Amino acid sequence: MIGMWETSAHLQSFPRAIVHVDGDAFFASCETALHPELRGRVVVTGRERGIVSSLSYVAKARGIRRGMILSEVKKICPDAVILTSDYETYSLFSKRMFSIMRRFTSQVEEYGIDEGFADITGMRGPLHMSYEDIARAMKKAVDEELGFTVSVGLAPTKSLAKIASKWQKPNGFTSVPGRAIRGYLSTLDVSNIWGVGPNTAKYMYSLGITTAHDFISKPFEYIAANFSKPHQEMWYELNGESVWPINTEEKTSYASISKTKTFTPPSGNVEYILAQLIRNLENACIKARRHGLVARKIVVYLRTQQFGDAAIEAKITRASNFPHDLIPHVRTLFKNVFKHGVQYRATGIVLADLQSDSSVQSSLFEPIIKMEKMQRVYAAVDSLDEQYGKHTVHLGGSQATFTQTQYAGDRTRETERQKIKLLGETERQHLYIPRMMITV
């Protein structure tokens, strides 16, 4: 078996050519792209949460890590530039990155906001370049047009391409043709294999498998006898045989949709906490409607300042993705779980037991005209939100979250995206128009 993989002719180059593009310190890099004066400085995002969400490589070199409390960051690096996370802008950078990748091939998978795969198999002729030149050209275009670097891996499979992109981070390019696979995997610890978690790594160690090379050198019969199907597929991927396809479809299948919100200072105010939940509900319903899904179960979640969690759920008589239908359930659940005198720091809503909205039927006693009017109302709301930004129109019940401070002190600082207008954007697009739900 080992000899077959080492000498197989189809592994001498690229039976398939998969590129993995991985943004280098993506969120922090987006900030430095917008503000070149920050290049070379300790840049940290996460002011709104009080902990480090993203950080520049300069910050990493100074000993800062993700999840670190910002007060500790200031102790380590008094000169650190701490910014409020600007997810809307990061999303725009992400869309631009994938748009650039699609210039080279239509087979692009948006794996995360800061990383994606591209299948360039068969593109050597149309683009008049080798696979390595195509991957390098893709990296060059992304680097130049986004204003920061990405790391790129090229290999015969997704698993190997992801390993390759991390080989020389940051600003790296690594090509792993079939004949070079064993050399790259010879020293790679199994814990660094994509898809291998701590428990699986510990299990592999117990079997005497410490490197990726140890893993792929085992006969498949051994792998099948000792590992589950995902790890069997991983064995094929690491041996250079592609079994994980590029998924070019936008994700539309969800078991549940959850939306949470953390705020400071903590609050024990009934109206304010309920307003946070209603805003969570609006966000969850927006996503559900976007993907044509309705929920049959709803979960209300509260977190105290001492990080104690309380959750309660209820089944919904008629599956829905309209806040108008679900707010009565939220209010009832909230009354059952909320405790007076307790300070809360986070709220959350989970829409569960999701199904296609096309499968929902109204009951014999439910006014059809009312349902149709509600559908038109939310179609208009979604259209306005799409044109002017999410929550341009929102429920009156969530108004307190827009008029009251969400974060205390220095953490209220606006992002640059909130303070400036993009080309063609108007003042109106920065305004929130409150909406009170009425009977229609």
**Who wins on pLDDT, 86 or 386?**
86
Read off the pLDDT band of 155 (50, 70, 90).
very high
Band of the pLDDT at 440, cuts 50, 70, 90? Answer: very low
Residue 2: pLDDT over 50: no
Q: Which residue range(s) make up the domain with 320?
A: 256-435
Catalytic residue among 109, 110, 115, 241: 115
Residue 224 is predicted with a pLDDT of: 94
Query: Of the given ranges (34-38, 139-143, 270-274, 429-433), which has the lowest mean pLDDT?
Result: 429-433
Residue 150 lies in a domain: no
Q: Confidence class of residue 411 from pLDDT cuts 50, 70 and 90?
A: very low
Mean of all residue pLDDT scores within the chain? 84
Residue 320 maps to a domain: yes
Band (419; pLDDT cuts 50, 70, 90): low
The domain that holds 322 is classified in CATH as 3.30.1490.100
State yes or no: pLDDT of 427 exceeds 70: no
pTM exceeds cut of 0.75 = no
pLDDT tens-place string over residues 311-359: 888 888 888 888 888 999 999 999 999 999 999 988 989 998 888 876 5
181 in any annotated domain: no
Q: Is residue 291 part of a domain?
A: yes
Domain-located, residue 404: yes
Q: Which amino acid is at 9?
A: A
Q: What is the mean pLDDT of residues 109-133?
A: 94
User: Does residue 48 have an active-site annotation?
Assistant: no
Looking at the structure of the chain, the number of domains it has is 1
**Model confidence at 8, in pLDDT bands (50, 70, 90)?**
very low
Does residue 54 sit within a domain? Answer: no
What per-residue confidence (pLDDT) applies to 249? 76
Residue 194 has pLDDT above 50, yes or no: yes
Residue 91 included in any domain: no
Q: Please report whether residue 344 resides in a domain.
A: yes
- The lowest-confidence range among 40-49, 205-214, 356-365 is 356-365
| 414 vs 195 pLDDT, higher one | 195
